[in-house]
Structure 1
Amino acid sequence: MLPSPLQEIRDERFARHGVRLQLKRDDLIHPALPGNKWRKLAPNLRAALEGGHTALLTFGGAYSNHLRATAAAGRLLGLTTIGVVRGDELAGKPLNSSLARCAADGMRLHFVSRADYRHRHERDFTERLLRGTGDHATAREAFRIPEGGSNALAVRGCTALGGELRGRTDVAAVACGTGGTLAGLAAGLGSGQSALGIPVLRGGFLTEDVRDLQRSAFGGRRGQWRLDERFHFGGYARGTPELEDFARDFAARHALPPLERVYVAKLLSGLTTLAEEGAFAPGSTVTAVVTGPR
């Protein structure tokens, strides 16, 4: 469903500071491709099909929404999918719900150590990784999509998200893993609007990644954007009892389905803290992009 709907949320923690909160429900775009992954994958899938590729090769962690979306897209389009998963300690163990969904959609999973995973950008990485496996030849000819789906094609695809919010918000906020959605969102917004990224990983490396993505997509920086690194709650796919309490309370008070924990709960918790800190101007509208699956 495009454009994805906007939902106004009446929350006193925002209202008492004169701030209006909206949810941009990108989680409702497609039933099989969770969240904003449709926007990032669609141009990559188009390029893969136009290039005559019959397989997709991509990368991610054990709870990667991107892996899930790629597996679902492959099933829907009749493409073979290969997923390289960070964490060799997972090999031979029961799959978590996210990876089980990938496998059910036909994705062939290969688990690698965290040390080896750091070399995923090297040209011969998958050649070395998959040598001697049944996926070696397939991977060599596959269309390669980076971790999180974030490349120049994906960034340009996400500019439509900013376009859908032109004139409808002052700040558009999104939780960030690899930065591709933020890079495209900021580029698509209009004059006087800004984008805010809430990284869900520790490390402080994302600013340069977003700059690099915008350079690859547009030749330079586009739009107004910034990051707030305080709300990762320990790192990717990690949380705290406080985050759990917030997520349950927010969903209950606004009659929402359970909040996705890896991205969406951290985003909304961060925005609530920022509102209470007075970070948003009175009279402004803040829109949280709900990227997580339903």
Structure 2
Amino acid sequence: MGKNRLQLENHLFILPDYLNHPFISGNKLRKLKYNVLEAKKQKKETLLTFGGAYSNHIAAVAYAGKEYGFKTVGVIRGEELADSISQNPTLTFAQNCGMEFKFVSREQYRNKNNPLFLNQLKEAFHNIYVLPEGGTNALAVKGCEEILEEADAKFDYICCPVGTGGTISGLINSSFKHQKIIGFPALKGDFLNKEITKFAAKTNWELNLDYHFGGYAKVTDALIAFINTFKLQYNIPLDPIYTGKMMFGICDMIQKGYFDENAKILAVHTGGLQGIAGMNTVLKQQNKPLIV
């Protein structure tokens, strides 16, 4: 049923792509593969990218720089974070990998795609290869097209979490005719349809907007309880930003009869487990249950 596809129930399987690398795991390794090759081809010295306080992408790019011989720069949303790096597991990890930070205000951060702002960054850091927030571009989608294998033709539904739209676009492009791709956005709003349409060559997909739990990085006690129960039951960790919400959504849809009784479902575990430590830091401050 495809290499390393784990059967959870009769009809539900999980693709543990998070096991593909200890630090650049899941879709981050996929997204960076061809971008790193292109940066080397262009003889760039530095990978520069953008992210928030607990960004999986920032952590992955930092380690990729260490592993593949690049300097790295992270443009981080939130000037106040500059004074609390040691209290932030993600930024501490990235800094230990050698990443240099440029902390900017939330207002400045909105200019991350502005040519004028990008030119200023190029002048400041020299010979940079710019990776967009979340890592999604055409080369990232190309990498994500390699997630599915021939044996995965046996599945009727392919499910994945959605952040910036790169992973689901790759899955759509490499999917088989009979398959439906379902994305579970971590963010509120339906703006992602436009982003996905830029890269996706087929129309056999939909986004389910019912399981964002209030928006990006928002969680509830019910979600945390689900993640902890899931790990206890299957020995598979889920992160609270992406994969936890997806698996909660899939299980809820199964209970509500969305899928045909004999349909085979493949859930793609895209990684993001480094974010658990950051979320637990926040939950502890709020005196909430922690992710185990």
Does the pair score TM above 0.5?
yes
Letter matched to residue 53 of structure 2 = A
Letter matched to residue 130 of structure 2 = R
> Residues 67 and 58 from structure 1, CA distance in 2 versus in 1: closer, same or farther, beyond 3 angstroms?
same
1:122 corresponds in structure 2 to: 114
Task: Return the alpha-carbon distance in structure 1 between the equivalents of residues 191 and 57 of structure 2.
Answer: 20
Task: Return the alpha-carbon distance in structure 2 between the equivalents of residues 137 and 88 of structure 1.
Answer: 18
3-state SS in 1 of match to 2:266: strand
Kindly state the Cα deviation for residue 284 of structure 1 after the two structures are TM-superposed.
0.6
| TM-score of the pair, normalised by structure 1 | 0.87
Aligned with 1:238 (options 218, 234, 246): 218
Letter matched to residue 147 of structure 2 = L
1:199 corresponds in structure 2 to: 185
Task: Return the alpha-carbon distance in structure 1 between the equivalents of residues 216 and 251 of structure 2.
Answer: 20
Aligned with 2:152 (options 153, 158, 166): 166
Kindly state the Cα deviation for residue 50 of structure 1 after the two structures are TM-superposed.
0.7
Is contact 2:146–2:174 with CA below 8 Å preserved after alignment?
yes
- CA deviations 1:226-250 (Å, max 9, x no partner) are 1001111122222111100111111
Is 1:226 equivalent to 2:206 in the alignment?
A: yes
Is contact 1:4–1:26 with CA below 8 Å preserved after alignment?
no
Kindly state the Cα deviation for residue 91 of structure 1 after the two structures are TM-superposed.
2.3
Query: Gaps (5+ residues) in structure 1?
Result: 215-220
2:280 corresponds in structure 1 to: none
* Within-5 A mapping of 1:266-277: 266-277=245-256
1:185 corresponds in structure 2 to: 171
Kindly state the Cα deviation for residue 273 of structure 1 after the two structures are TM-superposed.
1.0
- CA deviations 1:190-215 (Å, max 9, x no partner) are 1101211100011221111111233x
Is 1:156 equivalent to 2:142 in the alignment?
A: yes
1:8 corresponds in structure 2 to: 7
1:217 corresponds in structure 2 to: none
1:83 corresponds in structure 2 to: 74
Is contact 2:49–2:75 with CA below 8 Å preserved after alignment?
yes
Query: Gaps (5+ residues) in structure 2?
Result: 274-292
Task: Return the alpha-carbon distance in structure 1 between the equivalents of residues 173 and 249 of structure 2.
Answer: 22
- CA deviations 1:140-184 (Å, max 9, x no partner) are 420111111100111111111134563131111110110000001
3-state SS in 2 of match to 1:82: strand
Kindly state the Cα deviation for residue 222 of structure 1 after the two structures are TM-superposed.
2.2
- CA deviations 1:76-99 (Å, max 9, x no partner) are 111000011122232212341112
1:24 corresponds in structure 2 to: 15
Is contact 1:4–1:29 with CA below 8 Å preserved after alignment?
no
Aligned with 2:41 (options 47, 50, 56): 50
Cα RMSD (Å): 1.8
3-state SS in 1 of match to 2:83: coil
Relative to structure 2, which stretch is displaced further, 110-119 or 238-247? 110-119
Task: Return the alpha-carbon distance in structure 1 between the equivalents of residues 81 and 18 of structure 2.
Answer: 28
1:284 corresponds in structure 2 to: 263
Letter matched to residue 115 of structure 2 = R
3-state SS in 2 of match to 1:196: strand
1:218 corresponds in structure 2 to: none
Letter matched to residue 228 of structure 1 = N
1:108 corresponds in structure 2 to: 100
Is 1:175 equivalent to 2:164 in the alignment?
A: no
Is contact 2:242–2:272 with CA below 8 Å preserved after alignment?
no
Kindly state the Cα deviation for residue 223 of structure 1 after the two structures are TM-superposed.
5.0
Q: Give the total of aligned pairs.
A: 271
Relative to structure 2, which stretch is displaced further, 68-77 or 205-214? 205-214
Letter matched to residue 211 of structure 1 = T
Kindly state the Cα deviation for residue 4 of structure 1 after the two structures are TM-superposed.
6.1
1:40 corresponds in structure 2 to: 31
> Residues 119 and 89 from structure 1, CA distance in 2 versus in 1: closer, same or farther, beyond 3 angstroms?
same
3-state SS in 1 of match to 2:153: coil
> Residues 251 and 59 from structure 1, CA distance in 2 versus in 1: closer, same or farther, beyond 3 angstroms?
same
Task: Return the alpha-carbon distance in structure 1 between the equivalents of residues 109 and 190 of structure 2.
Answer: 19
Letter matched to residue 68 of structure 1 = A
Is contact 1:4–1:25 with CA below 8 Å preserved after alignment?
no
